[in-house]
Amino acid sequence: MESWPWPSGGAWLLVAARALLQLLRADLRLGRPLLAALALLAALDWLCQRLLPPLAALVVLAAAGWIALSRLARPQRLPVATRAVLITGCDSGFGKATAKKLDAMGFTVLATVLELDSPGAQELRACCSPRLKLLQMDLTKPADISRVLEFTKVHTASTGLWGLVNNAGHNILVADAELSPVATYRSCMEVNFFGTLEMTKALLPLLRRSSGRIVTVSSPAGDMPFPCLSAYGTSKAAVALLMDSFSCELQPWGVKVSVIQPACFRTEAVKNVDQWEERKRQLLATLPQELLQAYGEDYIEHLNGQFLHSLSQGLPDLSPVVDAITDALLAAKPRHRYYPGHGLGLMYFIHYYLPEGLRRRFLQSFFISPYVPRALRLGQPSHTSAQDPGPNLGSAPTAQ
């Protein structure tokens, strides 16, 4: 079929004009995504010239170019100005990194830590501006939350409180649901759910007044049944649903709510191997004899070894999570969910669209490979070796 260069040229002229305008406004970056989009447009141009009449080719190519540039455009962001943000759990990990980033951007940061003389608190005190205020707070103590609330009211009286970043959380045990003491579930819920709930409710009057933002760090373990993370995952599922409720109910007030679901990153808590070993020893020492006989010490050793191996594969650069939190605070239209880190798209696709058996096997191979409990191995050869960590395709989400 005869090609039609003029309609094609007109569409390319329109695409080039918009791209140049976006580049001048710094709404578009020169890089691989833009080059890939242009290559796809060129392929589409070739097909349109051969399969469509001139006017249809012009419309299709121009529309495709416009959509592609719209998707590549940086989201519109609000100015930092004098915005104040409170971040929980800044002793280490995502909280500490976010406090540094927001302080450098010009935010007034109120950073809560468990101990004012902890290494993380000392690091923030040394490297951040005088605008950053360190506040001691334990999320399980209502008196601490009340004290932080009063401090926040006083120190944001002139600017208002723009954002709350619910980052504090923890995971204290890796074990099957039956092996995990009920106290472990209560501990995770106290920090990850009830502490976040109390903190959010305490600051809501200030956030409603400013039509501000609530950003909560959750975990894919709250969406999928990761092996041996039932206590942690249950608390994260609860807090994610809570934030969904807040998102609907606070919409009339102009408060926007976002949830961050990060992949596994190598935070300080993740790298503390001695801590996980000590918790394993405590579990073995306190486990009822009946359960220890049924599952076996080698079973628990296997779980712990697999877990530590998964953590060692975590991403060392925390900036994707920090960037997601920053976008949730400043984007004119923040996303309801952010998924920073590699591999989460495939993980969620498998979880939502493949059969249950495949989902289960994928999570086991991705995180902790199967190992047969002792009672089921009696009279049978072991299916795997406790010393062999088995296949591992990635790493697991952990506490912040």
Render each residue's pLDDT in the chain as its tens digit; 400 residues.
Answer: 444 455 567 778 888 888 888 777 666 777 778 888 888 888 888 888 888 888 888 888 888 888 888 777 766 778 888 899 999 999 999 999 999 999 999 999 999 999 999 999 999 999 999 999 999 999 999 999 999 999 999 999 999 999 999 999 989 889 999 999 999 999 999 999 999 999 999 999 999 999 999 999 999 999 999 888 999 999 999 999 999 999 999 999 999 999 999 998 888 776 678 888 999 999 999 999 999 999 999 999 998 898 888 887 888 899 999 999 999 999 988 999 999 998 888 889 988 888 988 888 888 777 787 788 988 887 554 444 444 434 333 334 443 4
Domain count, the chain: 2
Q: List the domain range (segments joined by +) for residue 103.
A: 84-346
- Of 17, 42, 72, the position where a domain reaches its end is 72
Whichever domain contains 329, its CATH number is 3.40.50.720
Q: What 3-state DSSP class applies to 108? A: strand
| Of residues 153, 106, 117, 110, the one with CA closest to residue 132 | 110
Regarding whether 276 and 230 lie in a shared domain, the answer is: yes
Alpha helices per DSSP H over 73-181 = 93-105, 119-127, 142-155
Confirm whether 299 is a catalytic residue.
no
Statement to judge: residues 139 and 47 lie in one domain: no
How many Cβ atoms from other residues are within 10 Å of residue 43's Cβ? 10
Rounded to whole angstroms, the Cα distance separating 18 from 175 reads 55
- CB of 137 within 8 A of CB of 112? yes
Nearest to 185, CA basis, from 248, 235, 247, 112: 235
Contact 88, 112 (CB under 8 A): yes
Handedness of CA 117, 118, 119, 123 (dihedral sign): negative
Same domain, 29 and 101: no
Catalytic residue among 185, 232, 352, 353: 232
> Taken in order 389, 392, 397, 400, is the CA torsion positive or negative?
positive
Distances in whole angstroms, Cα of residue 42 to Cα of each of 14, 59, 118, 146, 164: 14, 15, 56, 60, 45
Q: Is 175 in the same domain as 318?
A: yes
